[in-house]
Structure 1
Amino acid sequence: MKIFKYLLIFVPVSWGTYFLRGNSLGTFITSALAIVPLAFIISRKTDRLRSYLGSSWGGLINVTFGNATELIISLYAIIDRLLNVVKANITGSIVMNLLLVLGLSFFTGGLKHRKQTFDKVLAIANGTMLMLAVIGMLIPAIFYFASPNIKTLVLGKLSLGVGAVLFVTYMASLYYTLVIHENEKKESHRQIKKSPGRGSVMREAFILFLVTSLVAVEANILVGSITIIQKKFNISPVFIGVIILPIISNVAENLTAITMARENKIDLSINIAIGSSIQVALFLVPLLIFISHLINHPMNVLFNLLEVSSIGLSVLAINIVYLQGESNWFEGLQLCAAYLIIAIAFYFA
């Protein structure tokens, strides 16, 4: 889309604003606008690789590079000890993908095609993975609030243990999705893939590396300006993390999912939205926990009641729709409505 090309001007503008004015409202706005077109380029390049690798591998690459922006933002927030922003960002990413992105995908796809069907076997597997993510976040919260005198050291060890379990399970899910389930699909219909040249793949990889590096720079500027936004507008850091940051970091990936649904490629939309949520919960969270302990800024898996409830109810809502194996525009509208209710709650939190 041409609008994203025009937004690239904010990359040098954000640098200039940062060096001239430091952390300010203008710095926050320009760096946020700069991340949007960079995320769009990442989405486009991974989309091209998808044509070579198929929907499963392509979907994994798409969500991985899509979540790279989120990972970078979270790492800078951990370094700045904004752990509440990190947890809120994780919550917002999961809830946004499950309710808003998938809801808009079902809605736009349903308006054009009335009813869309998707892989029910994979839906059951993904639904189970999402419930595991809820358990991984809910049990530490119950453990902590049931034992108010628990020591921080014990909570840290619990977080490392839970993170390890989630990480191993995510690796197993990749094996099931990309190897076992993919082979089953090949038996039912032959999958044709383009054969990319070595030069093409290297060029795409180099561009992805370069753009991801630019995102890292912009993320550093963005995170440094968060405290200014909190003080100037009296906005909760939780609301910034749950609503604003996920929309900024995932805008291109989200547009891709909605566009694919409009083109009746609903399985690909689901791979992006659900796959991104699963990767954030089962891979990104453990990775951030491990890294935070290594740099001596330990983060735990203790999410507050509103965050855990939002994730749990989002998973429950999506499973009711998702496990049917088909969707329509009205179900998409209901998911979007649920997201708006959660967003309003976090605004006043």
Structure 2
Amino acid sequence: MVKKMRYLLIFVPISLGFSYFRDGSIWSFITSALAIIPLAALMASITDRLRNILGSSWGGIINVTFGNATELIISIFAIYDGLLNVVKANITGSIIMNLLLVLGMSFLLGGLRYQRQKFDKLLAITNSAMLMLAVIGMLIPAIFYFGSSNIKTLVLGKLSMGVGFVLFVTYLASLYFTLIFHEKEKKVFHVSKGSGGDSARKKEGKGKLWYNVLYLLLTTIFIAIEASILVGSIEIIQEGFNISPVFIGVIILPIISNVAENVTAINMARADKIDLSITIAIGSSIQVSLFIVPLLIFFSHLIGRPMNVLFNLLEISSIGLSVLAINVVYLQGKSNWFEGLQLIAAYLIIAIAFYFA
């Protein structure tokens, strides 16, 4: 994947040039968007290598932490620029894109090749519960706010901090359960053999560890620079093409920041590894809603630009209905191409609605 996208790295210096000579232009937005795509793919590749070096537990934590780093960085710069509606739209778009578009494409293309694909229902139930928690976290503040005319912004901010804290702690607990506690359980029932080979592999990995860490930091810095250029050009795109910032956040930004991850999920389905496709797509949605959202709330309050979790009716409805649609498929424990087509159709309907919103 990275090899196929490495040619797009040429847009990194091009976008920097446009940013210097024509800051905030349409070309700045386009070139920075094209530059972020290979950088995000490169980051995903590096985190995968670190996971192989460090093992499933710590490597998994690093993989999870940087899984949506591009999205997090873009949102941070949007908060700095006061584009809180774009940030919330970006969160909404990331969740519904993974649940409907990415899984829909995976089910469609995988189903066309293998007719019917089965997946782990137990994993699906666990993911479903986490997604429902995310919906509750976004729905309750809206009910709380619109249910009473006396609610003040200050109270809403405190509520958002409380909700964010609960979501964040729950996500950390899920990481401990899946990456540490579950690994300890497996070690109890499985005695590893050939430890000498593992030791030699670990020594070899240590030499590559710092190289990959520095490589990851450098990639993160470039993504931050490109994200700054991208966010700084959003208003120009809005005026030039008469597109609302909400549509940019819901549709355009999530696609830019998750191209590599999305293509990987679809390729896994085509290789009849539908469980991996679901893990990538659903895992990304869970991370955004339970990890990225609290981080953004904490960060926004820290810099004096407080963001709350009050999503509008269209955003909440889109997320809730997306989770409901996925849960219907989950109950079957299997998928086909027509279900994938239906999920894609649902995404397109939502996209059209946001375009005219």
User: Is the pair's TM-score, using the shorter chain for normalization, greater than 0.5?
Assistant: yes
Q: Quick one: which of 256, 260, 264 aligns to 1:252?
A: 260
| Aligned mates of 1:70, 1:94 — CA distance in 2 | 12
Q: Counterparts of 1:48-67 in structure 2 under 5 Å?
A: 48-51=49-52, 61-67=62-68
Give the whole-Å Cα distance in 2 for the aligned partners of 1:129 and 1:68. Answer: 20
Residues 18, 28 of structure 2: 8 Å contact kept: yes
Amino acid of the residue matched to residue 277 of structure 2?
S
Question: 203-212 or 41-50, which moves further after superposition?
Answer: 41-50
The residue aligned with 1:111 is: 112
Alignment correspondent of 1:320 = 328
Superposed displacement of residue 42, structure 1: 1.3
Partner of 1:228: 236
Deviation at 1:189, TM superposition (A): 7.8
Q: Is the 8 A contact 1:45 1:204 kept in 2?
A: yes
Distance 1:186 1:81 in 2: 48
**Structure 1 residue 203: deviation in Å?**
1.9
Q: CA deviation at 1:112?
A: 2.3
1:220 CA drift (Å): 0.4
Q: Report the 3-state secondary structure (helix = DSSP H, G, I; strand = E; otherwise coil) of the residue aligned with 1:66.
A: coil
Partner residue, 1:277: 285
Q: Structure 1 residues 62 and 272 mapped into 2: Cα distance closer, same or farther (>3 Å)?
A: farther
2:330 is aligned with 1:329: no
TM-score, scaled to structure 2:
0.91
**Given the alignment, which residue of 345, 350, 353 partners 1:345?**
353
- Between the aligned partners of 2:266 and 2:187, the Cα distance in structure 1 is 26
Residue 159 of structure 2 is aligned to residue 158 of structure 1: yes
Distance 1:246 1:41, change over 3 A: same
Q: For the residues of structure 1 that align with 2:115 and 2:182, how far apart are their CA atoms? A: 28
Shift of 1:131: 0.3
Q: Matches of residues 155-194 of structure 1 in structure 2 within 5 Å?
A: 155-182=156-183
Contact kept? 1:72, 1:216, Cα under 8 Å: yes
Quote the residue 1:266 is aligned against. Answer: 274
Secondary structure in 1 matching 2:297? helix
Matched, 1:288 2:288: no
Distance 1:276 1:293, change over 3 A: same
Identity percentage of aligned residues: 74
Letter in 2 for 1:92: G
- Alpha-carbon RMSD across the aligned residues, in angstroms, is 2.2
Residue of structure 2 in register with 1:201 after alignment: 209
Deviations 1:51-76 (A, max 9, x none): 45677876664453231000000000
Q: How many Å apart are 1:246 and its aligned residue?
A: 0.3
**Contact 1:127–1:323 (CA under 8 A) maintained in structure 2:** no
Find the aligned partners of 1:230 and 1:210 in 2 and give their Cα distance.
31
Following the alignment from structure 2 to structure 1, what is the Cα–Cα distance between the partners of residues 191 and 352? 47
The one-letter code matched in structure 1 to 2:82 is R
2:72 & 2:250 partners in 1: Cα distance?
15
With over 3 angstroms needed to count, the CA separation of the structure-2 counterparts of 1:201 and 1:330, relative to structure 1, is farther
- Structure 1, residues 211-259: CA drift from partner, whole Å, max 9, x if none? 1110000000000000111111111100000000000001011111111
Displacement of 1:267 in angstroms is 2.1
Distance 1:229 1:124 in 2: 41
Whichever residue aligns with residue 111 of structure 1, its letter is L
Are the equivalent residues in 1 in contact too, given 2:36–2:256 (CA < 8 A)? Answer: yes
Residues 11 and 93 of structure 1: CA distance in aligned 2, closer, same or farther (over 3 Å):
same
Provide the rounded CA distance (Å) in 1 between the counterparts of 2:56 and 2:6. Answer: 27
Larger displacement relative to structure 2 (86-95 or 336-345): 336-345
Deviates more, 1:252-261 or 1:213-222: 252-261
Q: SS of the counterpart of 1:35?
A: helix
Structure 1 residues 299, 29: closer, same or farther in 2, change over 3 A? same
Paired with 1:52 and 1:202, the residues of 2 have a C-alpha distance of 11
Residue in structure 1 matched with residue 148 of structure 2 by the alignment: 147
Does the Cα contact within 8 Å between 1:11 and 1:31 map onto a contact in 2? yes
| Cα deviation 1:136-195 (Å, max 9, x = unaligned) | 000100111111231100000000011011111111111222234445667788899875
Instruction: Confirm or deny that 1:38 pairs with 2:46.
Output: no
1:88 paired to 2:89: yes
Task: Specify the alignment match of 1:217 in structure 2.
Answer: 225
Structure 2 counterpart of 1:21: 22
Cα offsets for 1:239-284 (capped at 9, x unmatched):
0000000000010111111112222222222221111111110111
Structure 1 pair 184–330 and aligned structure 2 pair: CA distance change class (3 A): farther
How many residues end up aligned between the 2 structures? 349
Counterparts of 2:59 and 2:322, CA distance in 1: 25
Please report the TM-score for the alignment, with normalisation by the length of structure 1: 0.93
AA paired with 1:254? N
* Segment drifting more, 33-42 vs 303-312: 33-42
Deviation, 1:35, is: 0.3
Kindly provide the CA deviation profile for residues 81-140 of structure 1, in whole angstroms up to 9, marking residues without a partner as x. Answer: 000000000000000011111111222222222222222222111100100000000010
Q: Gaps (5+ residues) in structure 2?
A: none
Structure 2 SS opposite 1:116: strand
